[in-house]
Amino acid sequence: MSLRSSRDIPSLEITPPEIYRERRLFMQGMGVMVAGTALGITSDAQAGAKLADVHRSPYTLNEEKTPYKAVTTYNNFYEFGPGKSDPAERAGSLKTRPWTVKVEGEAGKPGEYDIDSLLKLAPLEERVYRLRCVEGWSMVIPWIGFPLSELIRRAAPTSRAKYVEFVTLDDPGQMPGQRSDILDWPYVEGLRMDEAMHPLAILAVGLYGEVLPNQNGAPVRLVVPWKYGFKSAKSIVRIRFVEKQPLTAWMRAAPREYGFYSNVNPHVDHPRWSQAKERRIGEFLKRDTLMFNGYGAQVAQLYRGMDLQTFF
């Protein structure tokens, strides 16, 4: 009698882990939805709740995802303190509901969106992106969100809208880190209009299938995967269309070290450390940092003709 070798099953027929995990996630999500409906609660209430109706997206990666625990306990979110574990320990004081995002400035249709209407603004997708921190570490995170361009289109920016400014909540009562003036609060970030309209730029409302945990920028944050992490403003309360390039929080704090563009670039070092390599959280050896964090094919044309040493 011969034993059947594993070759008898063509590898094509083996469900890849991403898919079966996703199936499990989907089933769990269904379970929560059913239970939630039975109890008369909505599933989108608080961090940790499963997000329903999440679509798969072509924007995924063949790289191992950073474990949920690391993604939610190793954070830079100075509004809760400068330490990496501060946000996870202290972000409980942030109240993400009710929450309104003002869309204003050079726009034909300015408005206010409460978080529930934002969640229904466009179909939610899962995007598995690399995240490269300016400090030299990186992660792979399955975000849930929708393209920023969906919101921008609805706001009908005028021809004078050259940049988009993002402002984080400024409330030392909820954000204890703001009681120290380590940065000039509120946190401000910005994108050029074409960057903001790029399909890779998303507004994220969740990760790992769940409502965004507070320490990751709940209830809504920006994710711009080809730029250093600090460009992706968290806990956004205002999106404003402006004519002049916004002065971002980090440019104000250290203009020599942080530029407006802050694209991931292994050839342009931080004045105090190299950006050529990065430590992927969970890995031992450093890996090479990729130009535009590996998204060059999609975004390099945004910067054609620009000297990236000057516009760092």
Partner 1 sequence: MGAILRNPKCALFAICLLPLVRLVVLGAGSGLGANPIEFITHSTGTWTLVWLLVTLSVTPLRRLTGRAELIRYRRMLGLFAFFYACLHVITYLWLDQFFDLAAIAKDIVKRPFITFGFAAFVLFIPLAATSTHAMMRRLGRRWQRLHRLIYPMALLGVIHYLWLVKKDLTQPLIFGAVLVFLLALRLPWGLSALRAVSNRLLAISAQRAGRDAVSPGIHAIKQGGRFMRSK
Least distance between partner 1 and beta carbon 262 (Å): 14
Nearer to partner 1, 70 or 128 (CB): 70
Residues of this chain that bind partner 1 (CB under 8 A)? 66, 69-70, 73-74, 78, 82, 84-85, 135, 137, 182-183, 253-254, 269, 272-274, 276-277, 279, 281-282, 284-286
Nearer to partner 1, 266 or 296 (CB): 266
Least distance between partner 1 and beta carbon 72 (Å): 10
Return the structure tokens found at 296.
């060059």
Cα angle value 47/53/57 (rounded, 5°): 100
Least distance between partner 1 and beta carbon 96 (Å): 23
Nearer to partner 1, 82 or 108 (CB): 82
> How far is the C-alpha of 286 from the C-alpha of 306, rounded, in Å?
29
Nearer to partner 1, 288 or 307 (CB): 288
| E-state strands within the chain | 54-55, 100-105, 111-114, 124-132, 137-147, 163-168, 188-192, 202-207, 210-211, 221-223, 236-242, 277-280, 287-288
> How far is the C-alpha of 1 from the C-alpha of 269, rounded, in Å?
63
- Closest by Cα among 107, 189, 212 to 151: 107
Least distance between partner 1 and beta carbon 273 (Å): 6
Least distance between partner 1 and beta carbon 131 (Å): 12
CA diameter of the chain: 78
Nearer to partner 1, 192 or 286 (CB): 286
